[in-house]
Structure 1
Amino acid sequence: MFHRFAPALIVAAILTGCSATPRYEGAAGANLSAQDEFWAALSSHCGKAFSGGLVSEDEVDADFAAADMIMHVRECSDEQIAVPFHVAIDGKWDRSRTWLVTRTSDGLRLKHDHRHKDGESDAVTMYGGDTDADGSAGSQDFPVDAESIALFEREGLSASVTNVWTVEVDDAEAEAGVFAYQLKRTIDGGAPEDRFFRVEFDLTAPVEAPPPAWGWE
């Protein structure tokens, strides 16, 4: 559900075998915002991949219940982090989704880059939202933005116009680290029915990096 980065960083990643790992350490004693700390936590996993699975129970996600999943913090710069999300259903890998987290002048932004196997963009792509609060070092919420609402309405996906996405991540030094991606919408929030999708990944046991997401070769 998902990429253009500073060329120098990409070259460095190729030469060293993994992507650069920008960290927002700040000066000694500096007060970092929760979003800076969140960015540093996600960046601390750059170049690594992790396995996980579905933990929510909505019936519409039945095909995902037994699917193998890998998330890969594949590319990082000071302004954008790309996290391909690979899903294997019935042994066939779907590499169509990449989560993009970027820094903006007002906070953080999450977008979903969806591609077909030939690398072409899906009709429903680059949707997401911006943070409207500082969040915490381990969790950031991304309410749907106006551009995405217009896209959903145009594509007949009106149920999605109240989406709120959440990304959670622990720093690489955490003893029991977890990365989670979540989609939620509620009747109270204006949705026609409740919707909850959540996948979690074990950050304590890296796995072999998968092939690039479609369109990112």
Structure 2
Amino acid sequence: MDKFFILVFTIAFGVFNAQNQTAPSEIFWNNLKKHCGKSYEGKITAGAKEGDGFSGQRLVMQVLSCEPNRIRIPFYVGADQSRTWDLFKNEKSILRLKHDHRHADGSEDKVTQYGGENSNQGMETLQMFPADQQTANRIPYASTNLWWITMDEKTFTYNLRRIGSDRVFSVEFDLTNSIEFNKRPWGWKD
């Protein structure tokens, strides 16, 4: 009987603790928010090809806007100010990634608002975003895309892998060295 009581208590206490613990995605979100207003330089760590538009360019991420359920991170490639990574958080602490692409006049690019949603709360240092149905409908060749972001105290890494192909891309940013950077992405509105 004592073993049964200990087992029930252990299970009940474990469930109670699990319900009161902060979700890994919330920890990830809060750690990212600590960088709001800061900019960081990066480098391509996988997928660089001559003539790809990224190689040889200055790469900067800017954690420009942190709202309760949305974080916007413009990604600058040289003089190109067209890209913003939009992260959203729902009431269940599930994160979604969308790519906002704009022209210099601020209008939306033909290929924009694609991305995916994590199927669970991920990990404190890793969030994965398989392509969603909107992406599959809009960009059929990207229906097997898997994006993921890793973040610890030193680095933030944005990654893309197209399953079933050799398409891979990773860019890593040094979070230990914020830089002065005062640009805004094309079409930015506060």
Same fold, TM-score > 0.5, yes or no: yes
Aligned length: 169
Partner residue in 2 for 1:136: 123
- Structure 1 residue ranges without an equivalent (≥5): 1-29, 188-192
Identity rate, percent? 38
2:170 to 198, 205, 208: 198
Does the alignment pair 1:80 with 2:62? no
1:119 to 96, 102, 106: 106
Within 5 A, what are the aligned runs for 1:20-31?
Answer: 30-31=20-21
Partner residue in 2 for 1:97: 83
Q: What is the CA-CA distance between 1:127 and the residue it aligns to?
A: 0.5
1:181 to 147, 154, 158: 158
Task: Find runs of 4+ consecutive structure 1 residues off by over 4 angstroms.
Answer: none
Does the alignment pair 1:35 with 2:25? yes
Q: What is the CA-CA distance between 1:168 and the residue it aligns to?
A: 1.4
Structure 2: how far apart are the matches of 1:167 and 1:64?
A: 18
Structure 2: how far apart are the matches of 1:80 and 1:134?
A: 16
Q: What is the root-mean-square deviation in Å for CA atoms of aligned residues?
A: 1.5
Partner residue in 1 for 2:10: none
- Structure 2 residue ranges without an equivalent (≥5): 1-19
1:3-38, Cα deviation, whole Å (9 max, x unpaired):
xxxxxxxxxxxxxxxxxxxxxxxxxxx511110001
Instruction: Report the TM-score when normalising by structure 2.
Output: 0.84
1:74-116, Cα deviation, whole Å (9 max, x unpaired):
000111000000011xxxx100000000012441100000000
Partner residue in 2 for 1:210: 182
Q: Secondary structure at the match of 2:158?
A: strand
Partner residue in 1 for 2:11: none
Instruction: Report the TM-score when normalising by structure 1.
Output: 0.74
